[in-house]
């Protein structure tokens, strides 16, 4: 069974775009002159380099599907978890 994930890309310039995948994962992508892609998720996590934009789209979509499946099995919400986790981390640091 195939799942459809909506991905929104907003071009910043010829090398950089922001993305939001299924309202679950968002961040920035950088496409190098040789065509490889680096993705930085909101929160600062840098994903591995991808061979091409198509490889990035496939992997980020698969990750989004994994998050959706985990949320349905565990009853959690990843976006809410990120917010809660970040607020607790910053309280600890200050």
Q: Does residue 62 lie within any of the structural domains?
A: yes
What is the structure's pLDDT at 12?
96
What is the structure's pLDDT at 90?
58
Distances (CA, A) of 19 to 25, 57, 63, 75, 94: 8, 10, 14, 25, 30
pLDDT tens track for 11-47 = 999 999 999 998 888 999 999 999 899 999 887 888 8
Average model confidence (pLDDT) across the chain: 83
Q: How many domains are there within the chain?
A: 1
What is the structure's pLDDT at 39?
93
Q: Does residue 48 lie within any of the structural domains?
A: yes
Q: Does residue 1 lie within any of the structural domains?
A: no
Q: Does residue 2 lie within any of the structural domains?
A: no
Q: Does residue 30 lie within any of the structural domains?
A: yes
- SS3 annotation, 34-71: CCCEEEEECCCCECCCECCHHHHHHHHHHHHHHHHHHH
pLDDT tens track for 38-82 = 999 887 888 878 999 899 999 999 888 888 888 888 877 776 666
Q: Which domain holds residue 28?
A: 7-93
């Amino acid at each position: 069974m195939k799942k459809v994930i909506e991905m929104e890309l907003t071009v910043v310039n010829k090398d950089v775009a922001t993305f939001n995948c299924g309202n679950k994962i968002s961040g920035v992508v950088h496409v190098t002159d040789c065509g490889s892609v680096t993705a930085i998720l909101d929160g600062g996590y840098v994903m591995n380099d991808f061979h091409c934009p198509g490889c990035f789209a496939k992997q980020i979509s698969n990750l989004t599907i994994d998050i959706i499946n985990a949320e349905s099995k565990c009853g959690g919400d990843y976006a809410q978890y990120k917010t809660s986790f970040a607020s607790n981390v910053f309280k600890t640091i200050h």
